[in-house]
Chain A
Amino acid sequence: MSVLLQYLVTGVSRGFLFALLATGFVVIYRVTKVVNFAQGAFVVLGGFIAYSLLGAGVPQGLSEVLAVLASAAIGLLFGVVTLLGRMSTIASLITTIGLALLSEAIAMLVWGTTPLTYSGLSGHDLRFGGIFVQPQYLLLIGVSFVVLASLWLLLDRTYVGKAMTACASNPYAARLTGINVKAMGLLSFAIGGALGGVGGVLIMPLFPITYDSDVNLAILGFAAAIVGSLTSPTLALAGGLIFGIAEELVAGYWSQANETAVALGLMILLLLWQSQRRQQAAKLI
């Protein structure tokens, strides 16, 4: 029982990480219709930058905030490259994959190939239903929750959020109403970068990260985003939690080697189920 609880806590934490990634996919897609496969790179670079700042003696909290800002800047830069000119959706998708590979190469050159980690929130482990939980888990869950909730509010409840949605819904009409479509696209990339950075600095004390962790992270984040059809931040959060928990249960009760495969199998099942539902809805109309 307590073993299961342990897996659940870990799974929920991983789930929030995936949800941060998924929401990055959602924000960028909702504004630009670009699927940004460099999303995982924000986690890796954000985490590594925090690691280096800590190593240079910068206080923990400040290092993490600076790393998130740096990730936002990297996101902005990726946005500039991806939205440069007027690429087709498929061309910009390939561009983001290129950017992911490029940042992997840079991460390897700068930080090497060994997994990196640093200690997170200090303090005693908290006793909770018969298990001990590191405070860092609670920090990850709490901060992610607040970040995701604010982002949902921004996208679904504010005027700027509506304008961001309008950019993807009809870029031509958005321009006619005077919305700066390109600036909104860049803003969405910066937000995507910051979300990845938040994930990176929070997860690194719990799960060491290597330069090439981004691919796996991007795939699982994408899978979670797909649950919300790449447009719903709330469903993306649900998706993140499903994949996080599923991954931990598979790793715990079966084998770690299978965790990603099972998560991806789950994604395919979800996709099939969704398209089935959509077809049925179409029949009703």
Chain B
Amino acid sequence: MNGTGAATAPILSVDGLVVRYGAAIALEDVSLEVGRGEMVALIGANGAGKTTLLNTLSGILTPSAGTIRCAGRLAHVPEGRELFFDLCVDDNLRLGAWKASSRDPARIYELFPKLRDLSRRKAGYLSGGEQQMVAIGRALMAGPDVLAIDELSQGLAPIVVQEIGRYLVRLNAETGLSVLLVEQNARLALELCARAYVLETGRVATHGPSALLRDEPAVRSAYLGGHVTT
């Protein structure tokens, strides 16, 4: 069923998920898995239901059918970062640990040294890239086993995206953190993650190892700019 998929039980498994907004169906029978220590991409066009899926995973939305099993803690980096603008960077990070045992953000400052100098600044006065680091840092403060990131690259310069992407890969390699990465930039997502799901109007259109998906004609034309040969 999956390519490089997990030999052990997955850390996150979603089965037959249906989510509605009133009468409109946003997710229809979505199933996916994230293995322990795996980085999985979720790509799809605007309105495909990616954000809906993450909001359901973190309990903001209630599914009308299906099951979500998470064998650990899931933290969610929301689309648009959604920081506490009135609070300083340090407070934003600390509040990420509301349900966790340690409130000390030292490890986040180690991961993003830039944030240490900005720790007293109001989150509203940060650049987009800095805000994204705080958003990721805040989610990491929850001590998650799975990190779900919505639109990592949104509004960021490519070089910043590369930088944050490298942080994620390092974190994944060093700590075994599992990642579910929602991305508009399919090229980036397939590069960072070994496996991917393609969501189309609320359904999983296809999934598999990134290396294979990259060559699927449908994926190439819809998400990678089909005629480009690389």
- A residues contacting B by CB (< 8 A) are 159, 162-163, 165-166, 168-170, 172-179, 231
Residues of A within 8 A of B95 (CB): 162-163, 166, 174, 177, 179
User: A183 to chain B: closest CB distance in Å?
Assistant: 12
- Contacts A162-B91, A178-B98 given; does A173 touch B58 at CB 8 Å: no
Q: What is the interface of chain B mostly: helix, strand, loop, or mixed? A: loop
Residues of B within 8 A of A168 (CB): 86
Contact-residue size bin, chain B (C-beta under 8 Å from the other chain): 10 to 19
User: B78 to chain A: closest CB distance in Å?
Assistant: 6
Interface residues of B in 40-96 (CB under 8 A from A): 58, 60, 76, 78, 82-87, 91, 94-96
Residues of A within 8 A of B98 (CB): 163, 177-179
Q: What is the interface of chain A mostly: helix, strand, loop, or mixed? A: helix
Query: CB distance A177 to B86 under 8 Å?
Result: no
Query: CB distance B60 to A172 under 8 Å?
Result: yes
Residues of B within 8 A of A170 (CB): 82-85
Query: CB distance B84 to A159 under 8 Å?
Result: no
Query: CB distance A176 to B78 under 8 Å?
Result: yes
Given A165-B87, A179-B95, 14 additional A-B pairs, CB 8 A: A162-B87, A162-B94, A165-B84, A166-B95, A169-B87, A170-B83, A170-B84, A170-B85, A174-B84, A175-B60, A176-B76, A177-B99, A178-B98, A231-B86
- Contacts A165-B87, A166-B87 given; does A173 touch B82 at CB 8 Å: yes
A177 and B94 CA atoms in complex are apart in Å by: 10
Query: CB distance B84 to A169 under 8 Å?
Result: yes
Residues of A within 8 A of B78 (CB): 172-173, 176
Q: 9 A-B Cβ contacts within 8 A?
A: A159-B94, A159-B103, A162-B91, A170-B82, A172-B60, A173-B78, A175-B60, A176-B76, A177-B95
